């Protein structure tokens, strides 16, 4: 018996260790984590206390610090640190470890956000006309967790659904191994700027965009700024007329390319993006033509989630030409430097609290990514909360048959375990990350 057990142990270990060995134990050369000095990772109890006491300024300051850390420049001065992280394609690639050897090469792999076109080749009808360049990134701890547990394989998810650990909250559900507390995921959004013409960039001003039942995608926003690719140090009051979506926007605020984290596209990256017809559509909307070598893409928004607390810390940032005004500018410390000070931020540590002034559950959304969601009865995407939607993420047998529109409509507040189909029995909960069911193969 003893002998048999040791043989079983040996065999199990060889299988497990074999698959573990395939994942590099150290991040590749050229990869960088958030350096010390940015309150990351913070003490879990401290953050939980910010949550229960609804200490919004403390919650926000922590997120600003993390943002300051991830936007520090790499030692070679070439990139903000987060750009060395792993793209979704690398995280969920089937087959040998993409990063096992050699120094890391930054290849930007733009996609259409799955949440805007979840059925291949088909846009959500409500968001028709919108298209964006996006890239989901994972830091090394998040990447390693997906690779080690083979969460990129649907057979693995099926096995966990059958035999994984029971979920402690949702009856009849199981759960994937929880991500480690160092895991971070981002969802970045980029806007094209022509190399040779002043380009319009839509701006979200809540007061001039009342909620629409069909959603408030960027194609409906009232104002744009004019971005000049060839000017820097533009005087603060400069204006310019600019053309966008078939009409002229006179007297638009003129800003230089130096107000952004801008990436000049090489021929290959431009070509790769244009091979995808959704991204070609995004370029057509922004520029009236395909992306070309020498054009820029500028970072206009990013989602940020860290596993510092069990339910993850959720935050989102978006570029604004008046970044020092209003509640989303509050609490920004001096550690956030340069172009990164041009971002507004909203954070949430809870899907309910603190309540909004109207007594309803807490809101945290990004105008670029969620505002476009239609009103399904509880309000449109402008009253959504990251955690409510992400808490619903799961894998179940007919996932692919459902085409993926499963994250809508918008729900608010505490989860409705009885009536919301997202919590039906027999599901494998994916630790809040929608990209697991969306990307596994
Ligand atoms: C109504 C649903 C919904 C809401 C609300 C929502 N998301 Fe997501 N999110 C998704 C879906 C679906 C994906 C995966 C597909 C994709 O990449 O578009 C995703 C992907 C992500 C990712 C990449 C990692 C992952 O989970 O796959 C991050 C990070 C993220 N969202 C953060 C946020 C933050 C921060 C907010 C709030 C400001 C937010 N999300 C609001 C549906 C939502």
Domain boundaries of the chain, sorted by first residue: 2-439
Q: Is 215's pLDDT higher than 80?
A: yes
Q: What's the pLDDT score for residue 116?
A: 59
Q: Is 17's pLDDT higher than 50?
A: no
pLDDT-based confidence at residue 113 (cuts at 50, 70, 90) = confident
pTM equals 0.92
Q: What's the pLDDT score for residue 399?
A: 77
248: CA distance to ligand 1 center in Å?
33
Q: Is 15's pLDDT higher than 50?
A: no
Q: Is residue 435 lining ligand 1, measured as CB closer than 6 Å?
A: yes
The backbone torsions φ and ψ at residue 275, rounded to the nearest 5 degrees and listed phi first, read -70, -15
Residue 257: which residues within 8 A CB-CB, separation 6 or more?
A: 193, 227, 228, 229, 230, 231, 232, 296, 298
Q: Which two tokens stand for residue 260?
A: 């952004």
Q: How far is CA 402 from CA 376, 406, 424, in A?
A: 18, 7, 15
Q: How many residues does the chain have?
A: 441
Q: What's the pLDDT score for residue 217?
A: 93
Average pLDDT over residues 400-417: 82
Q: Is residue 305 lining ligand 1, measured as CB closer than 6 Å?
A: yes
From the alpha carbon of 314, which atom of ligand 1 is closest?
A: 35
Q: What's the pLDDT score for residue 4?
A: 42
Q: What's the pLDDT score for residue 124?
A: 46
Q: What's the pLDDT score for residue 152?
A: 96
Selected residue with higher pLDDT from 123 and 80: 80
Angle between helices 44-52 and 56-70 (to 10 degrees): 140
297: cis peptide before it, omega within 30°? no
Mutational test site, ligand 1, from 435, 437, 439, max ligand atoms within 8 Å of CB? 435
Atom 38 of ligand 1 has which residue's CA nearest to it? 365
Q: What's the pLDDT score for residue 22?
A: 61
Q: Is residue 114 lining ligand 1, measured as CB closer than 6 Å?
A: yes
**Rounded CA gap, 197 and 230, in Å?**
8
Atom 3 of ligand 1 has which residue's CA nearest to it? 389
Q: Which two tokens stand for residue 57?
A: 């300024």
- Read off the DSSP letter of residue 62: H
Selected residue with higher pLDDT from 43 and 24: 43
From the alpha carbon of 384, which atom of ligand 1 is closest?
A: 5
Average pLDDT over residues 355-374: 96
- Read off the DSSP letter of residue 334: T
pLDDT-based confidence at residue 101 (cuts at 50, 70, 90) = low
Q: Is residue 438 lining ligand 1, measured as CB closer than 6 Å?
A: yes
**Rounded CA gap, 372 and 128, in Å?**
10
Average pLDDT over residues 415-437: 95
Q: How far is CA 139 from CA 164, 311, 318, in A?
A: 25, 18, 20
Q: Is residue 136 lining ligand 1, measured as CB closer than 6 Å?
A: yes
434: CA distance to ligand 1 center in Å?
7
Q: What's the pLDDT score for residue 108?
A: 80
Q: Is 358's pLDDT higher than 50?
A: yes
Q: What's the pLDDT score for residue 151?
A: 97
Q: Is residue 183 lining ligand 1, measured as CB closer than 6 Å?
A: no
Q: Is 226's pLDDT higher than 70?
A: yes
Q: Is residue 318 lining ligand 1, measured as CB closer than 6 Å?
A: no
């Amino acid at each position: 018996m003893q002998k048999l057990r040791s043989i079983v142990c040996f065999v199990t270990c060889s299988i497990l260790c074999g698959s573990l060995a395939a994942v590099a134990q150290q991040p590749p050369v050229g990869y960088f984590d958030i350096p010390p000095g940015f309150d990351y990772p913070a003490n879990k109890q401290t953050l939980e206390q910010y949550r229960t006491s609804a200490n919004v300024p403390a919650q926000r300051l922590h997120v600003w610090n993390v943002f300051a850390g991830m936007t520090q420049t790499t030692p070679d001065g070439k990139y903000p640190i987060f750009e060395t992280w792993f793209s979704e394609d690398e995280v969920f690639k089937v087959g040998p470890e993409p990063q096992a050897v050699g120094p890391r090469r930054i290849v930007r792999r733009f996609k259409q956000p799955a949440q805007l076109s979840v059925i291949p080749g088909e846009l959500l009808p409500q968001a028709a006309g919108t298209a964006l360049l996006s890239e989901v990134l994972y830091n090394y701890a998040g990447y390693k967790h997906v690779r080690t547990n083979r969460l990129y394989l649907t057979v693995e998810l099926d096995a966990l659904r059958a035999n994984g650990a029971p979920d402690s909250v949702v009856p009849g559900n199981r759960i994937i191994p929880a991500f480690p507390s160092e895991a971070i995921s981002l969802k970045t959004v980029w806007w094209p700027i022509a190399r040779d013409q002043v380009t319009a960039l839509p701006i979200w001003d809540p007061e001039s965009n009342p909620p629409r039942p069909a959603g408030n995608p960027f194609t409906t926003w009232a104002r744009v700024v004019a971005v000049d690719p060839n000017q820097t140090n533009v005087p603060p009051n400069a204006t310019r007329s600019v053309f966008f979506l078939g009409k002229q926007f006179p007297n638009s605020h003129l800003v230089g390319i130096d107000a952004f984290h801008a990436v000049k596209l090489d021929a290959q990256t431009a070509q790769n993006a244009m091979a995808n017809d959704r991204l070609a559509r995004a370029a057509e909307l922004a520029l009236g033509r395909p992306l070309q070598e020498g054009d820029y893409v500028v970072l206009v928004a990013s989602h940020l989630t860290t596993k510092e607390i069990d339910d993850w810390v959720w935050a989102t940032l978006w570029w604004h030409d008046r970044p020092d005004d209003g509640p989303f500018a509050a609490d920004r410390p001096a550690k956030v430097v340069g172009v990164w000070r041009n971002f507004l931020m909203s954070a949430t540590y809870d899907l309910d609290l603190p309540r909004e002034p109207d007594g309803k559950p807490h809101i945290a959304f990004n105008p670029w990514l969620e505002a476009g969601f239609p009103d399904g009865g509880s309000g449109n995407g402008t009253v959504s909360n990251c955690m409510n939607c992400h808490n619903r993420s799961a894998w179940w047998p007919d996932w692919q048959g459902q085409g993926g529109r499963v994250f809508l409509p918008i729900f608010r507040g505490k989860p409705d375990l009885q009536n919301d189909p997202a919590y039906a029995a027999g599901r494998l909960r994916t630790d809040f990350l929608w990209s697991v069911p969306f990307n596994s193969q």
